[in-house]
Amino acid sequence: MKEKTILIVGTADTKSEELVFMKQCIQENNGEALVMDVGVLGDPEFDVDYTRHQVAEAANTTNKEIIDLGDENKAMTKTSEGAVNLTLQLFNANKIDGVLMLGGTMGTDLSLDVAEALPFGFPKFIVSTISFSHLIPPERLSADLMMILWSGGLYGLNAICKASLSQACGAVLGAANAVKAPKFDKPVVGMTSLGSSALKYMKLIKPELEKRGYELAIFHTTGQGGRAFENLAKNKQFVCVMDFSLQEVVNEMKGSIVTSGKDRLENAGLQAVPAMIAPGAIDLIDVASWRELPEDLKGRESHSHNRLISSVTMTTEERKKAARLIADKISRYKGKTAFVLPLQGIEEWDRKGNTLHQPEAHKAFCKEMKSCVPDNANFIEVDAHINDQEFSASVLNLFDQWVKEGIVPKGNI
């Protein structure tokens, strides 16, 4: 097995001990390590492979000019630009097989930029004092980013933080050795859904797309899934999207912590990726099961999925507001777009006889949606539930039409 080279990124003026320890951990596990110093003010206590001056040069400036900005936020933002550019140079020259980044809030801010610039499938790992914290907006998280909490590591080495650092070294080195980066031999269709207890269309559509020579990638819309979907759509990894589970959009509208960011339902359209959209599960607001409900959500019909996540129903007026929000986002789409509206329901629990069946509220949503769907979208009504075969058949018929018209490239059978 070829020895893998890991780029370690950190502020060598303040984290010399940690960076040296991480380099040794990787070398002890049959890897090679290169260190990039993204500090600004001081000199490191060891020889780094890429200095702060080289980082500044990669941002078309000098370290002195960065210091002269006189503002730590501006200085680190400019340094981040250089770190991204230099890392991409090393990646494009095939000099690195993975990247391991270290930081508190300052280093994490920079590391998120570096991770986002690297392609999906390239191992990227952040050791941070705020790993997956709510301080990090969903929009900053790349689709396959790995993180570990830097426990006890604010200042200097100790037995606790060594455990975190060494695990991170092993994880990124292991990922570099084991990764099977996507080759995209077949065109990929991106789909959003929930667990199959709520939305079931993927079971019907997936085998049919595979017969046609496509791969279907399905994203679980509980926050991070929608984020990964948006990240890949932004980078044009899909030949078509079937964005049929939109409750992350209403979660964001209602301030839920189960969010994938303000740009949910936007990136495919802005990149002119052919898009089919349906309002799956927009009648639900997701909440953390372990938190007390906000006052305005108490007393509503609800579904407790597990000890992590529950859902409460949207009011009629909230659903109408959601329709207008969805329509506004679609109005900015640049590519071929269709909105498919299932008239008999949009998730399994809203069927007649089930706990969240609220037919009048759904009718009000459908009426509002029909009135505000923008002209750039082909509006299709399906007199069925979203989980019925009729809905999936309509989607597949439309997909076949788009392939015939050359809007979606033919599959690789």
d(CA 295, CA 142): 34
Residue 240 gets which letter from DSSP? E
CA distances from 258 to 26, 220, 333 (A): 36, 12, 25
Looking at this protein, which amino acid is placed at residue 142? S
**Residue 317 CB partners (closer than 8 Å, separation 6+):** none
Give the number of other CB atoms < 10 A from CB of residue 352: 9
Is residue 147 a contact partner of residue 270, using CB atoms and an 8 Å limit? no
Look at the pTM and tell me if it is higher than 0.95: no
What pLDDT, on the 0 to 100 scale, is given for residue 220? 94
Q: Is 30 left (phi over 0), alpha (psi -120 to 50) or beta?
A: left
Domain 188-404 class? alpha beta
pLDDT at 183: 82
Q: For residues 240 and 276, give the distance between their C-alpha atoms in angstroms, rounded to a whole number.
A: 8
Residue 45's Cβ-side half-sphere holds a number of Cα atoms within 13 Å equal to 9
Residue 1's pLDDT is: 58
For the chain, residues classed under CATH 3.40.50.12030 are: 188-404
Mean pLDDT by 10 residues, the chain (413 residues): 91 93 96 96 92 96 93 94 98 97 94 96 95 90 93 84 94 95 90 90 97 96 93 95 96 93 96 98 93 89 87 95 98 97 96 93 97 97 97 98 97 87
* Sequence ranges of the chain with CATH classification 3.40.50.12020: 5-178
Please give the CATH topology (third level) of the domain spanning 5-178: Rossmann fold (3.40.50)
